[in-house]
Structure 1
Amino acid sequence: MNQWDADMHITDAMVRLLIESQFPELSGLRIRRIGEGWDNAVYRVGDSYTFRFPRRSIAVELLRTEGRLLPLLDEYITLPYPKPLFYGQESEAYPVPFLGYTYIPGTFPVGLGDEQRRLSAASLARFLRKLHSFPVGTAREAGASEDHRNLTDVAARKEKMVGVLSGLKPHLPMEEYDTVQEYLKRVTVKRITRQEVMLHGDLHFKNMLADERGQIRGVIDWGDLNVGHPGCDLNIAYSFLGPAERRLFFEQYGEVNEESRLLARLIGVFIPMLLLAQAVQIQDVGVAEEARASICRALSGD
């Protein structure tokens, strides 16, 4: 069983029943499934709302934390994001909570050129700089977990990556496989110094939305909000931006130490590896190609 396989069965009929019974003001609106991530199935309701339903038990507490924390972050998020409006309760039909949000328009930023990515370098940097300034004490009081992925243990992360890479060997050109393998061999640090900031926690191309020009206009899926090392979120400077755009990003975000850059690059390779593994399983060619390109970008430049 893959780590993203569902352990809760979600049907369109069940979703309609839950929404209309708990939020009768939404009755009669068109409800349609628009996708799913590792943790949640996503439905669009009418033109103005989206709902997320946990499809894995591990996502339930993450959704609760998101519902508590996102309203507190309003003044710290500089890009559009889904604001929780409808707090669905567990019931006999579906024994866990669910959330409804404002709808954020856009498409996943896949297949973009360097100039298109450059459009978002500064705004992404400002977004993370402001988010990372949120008081961690307030986050803890609201129930934020702390480094729930144990990111500072680089040795353990590297071991996981070696295992994932082995499974991806049939799906990567030999040159790309060898490049990742050689990179992992060069990562000799075992653990890095703990840092604490408020994190989005799962920032990658499937959790961002772009406009018709390719500029990032929204950040979605905040289920991994936690207090941890900024290198987790800074991965986007490596996986989404090329070397030239990366320099612009750090000019806006501010300089970070070598440990943070090491972790950012490592996670910038790791997350796309997982996205690639999932895309291969479900035969999503577009996501697979973007995940491969993300790995290559993360390993480019200094």
Structure 2
Amino acid sequence: MHSPAPLDAALVQRLVDTQFPQWSSLGIRQVVPGGWDNRTFRLGDDLLVRLPSADGYAAAVAKEQQWLPVIAAHVGLQIPEPVGRGAPTAEFPRPWSVYRWIDGESSANAPIEDLTAFALDVAGFLSELVRCDAAGGPAAGDHSFHRGAHPRFYDAEVQRSLERLEDVIDTTAARRVWDAALRTRITAPPVWFHGDIAPGNLLVRGGRLAAVIDFGTSGVGDPACDLAIAWTMFDEPARVAFRDALGWSEDVWARGRAWALWKAMLLAAGDAGAHDPAAEARSARDVIARILADAP
């Protein structure tokens, strides 16, 4: 049995040479950090290649190829533009994509002069996104890792995290936040959601939000999952401005807190994949503290 080929520049060069020979001379270099769900490579100066890092992420390729052009027509910020779809091969048995390169620096690293203005930019993008025509769009499910569904899908994980974090966080308060979300019902019509509105997927130019990338967990459903950034990145003034600009109901915000809490507790308990588990666990505990302090 052959070992899978490493996801490196040499593999990408072979894939491009075979399937997109018109770009074979452009040169390839890996983007660092290259992401968790996908590995990203520059292809010349104007293109990039994204390869799913595991089978569970492969479904996003067809979804993004089909729906990103539809969404792009209705949002003001730049989003990824697919220009080629690679076929699976014996060496790399998953579909893959070629996109236009978008200039910008990850908001996880870029200096942001006015966090409240940045939060308002994010709210503006989300407001445009939920107004996109959702007819025929992919309903929340396995392809979105159930983002866009009710957070109760992850109740078993949350209960395990609460047990593991009993002496680490205020689990009584965390249970109140989670239980408040479980009591809500999704009654609004399904809308487009991004699924991973996080600093690494928000690109900054000149201190302002310029682009939103990585729609691999996007779909049509409940947009509450896109609120997690209110606690993972924003301070209180930015969070208040973000909430006021969106105008979404308290039930949606209750589910948004739950989505943020679910992921933060997984990280704090060491049960989620992380590049730097110790550092991300510390950061996750800070996020949990903000969520609990902000809860009604």
TM-score w.r.t. structure 1 length?
0.80
Quick check: 1:61 aligned with 2:59? Answer: yes
1:238 is aligned to: 231
The alignment's C-alpha RMSD in Å is 3.0
1:178 is aligned to: 169
CA 1:224 to 1:184, structure 2 compared with 1: closer, same or farther past 3 Å? same
CA 1:168 to 1:45, structure 2 compared with 1: closer, same or farther past 3 Å? farther
SS in structure 2 at match of 1:224: coil
1:88 is aligned to: 86
Instruction: Give the deviation of 1:164 after TM superposition.
Output: 4.2
Tell me the distance in 1 between the aligned counterparts of 2:107 and 2:286.
12
Q: Deviations over 1:182-202 (max 9, x none)?
A: 332213243532241111112
Unpaired runs of 5+ residues, structure 1, are 1-6
CA contact (8 A) 1:43 1:51 kept: yes
Quick check: 1:257 aligned with 2:254? Answer: no
Quick check: 1:208 aligned with 2:199? Answer: no
Unpaired runs of 5+ residues, structure 2, are none
SS in structure 2 at match of 1:184: helix
1:17 is aligned to: 14
1:59-138 matches, within 5 Å, as: 59-110=57-108, 116-138=114-136
Instruction: Give the deviation of 1:68 after TM superposition.
Output: 0.6
1:37 is aligned to: 35
CA 1:299 to 1:50, structure 2 compared with 1: closer, same or farther past 3 Å? farther
Q: Of 267, 284, 289, which aligns to 2:259?
A: 267
Instruction: Give the deviation of 1:155 after TM superposition.
Output: 4.0
CA 1:234 to 1:297, structure 2 compared with 1: closer, same or farther past 3 Å? same
Q: For 1:32, give the aligned amino acid.
A: R
CA 1:209 to 1:161, structure 2 compared with 1: closer, same or farther past 3 Å? farther
SS in structure 2 at match of 1:259: helix
CA 1:114 to 1:100, structure 2 compared with 1: closer, same or farther past 3 Å? closer
Tell me the distance in 2 between the aligned counterparts of 1:278 and 1:75.
38
Q: For 1:80, give the aligned amino acid.
A: Q
Q: Of 158, 163, 171, which aligns to 2:160?
A: 163
CA contact (8 A) 1:280 1:288 kept: no
TM-score w.r.t. structure 2 length?
0.82
SS in structure 2 at match of 1:15: helix
SS in structure 1 at match of 2:252: helix
CA 1:107 to 1:163, structure 2 compared with 1: closer, same or farther past 3 Å? farther
CA 1:80 to 1:185, structure 2 compared with 1: closer, same or farther past 3 Å? same
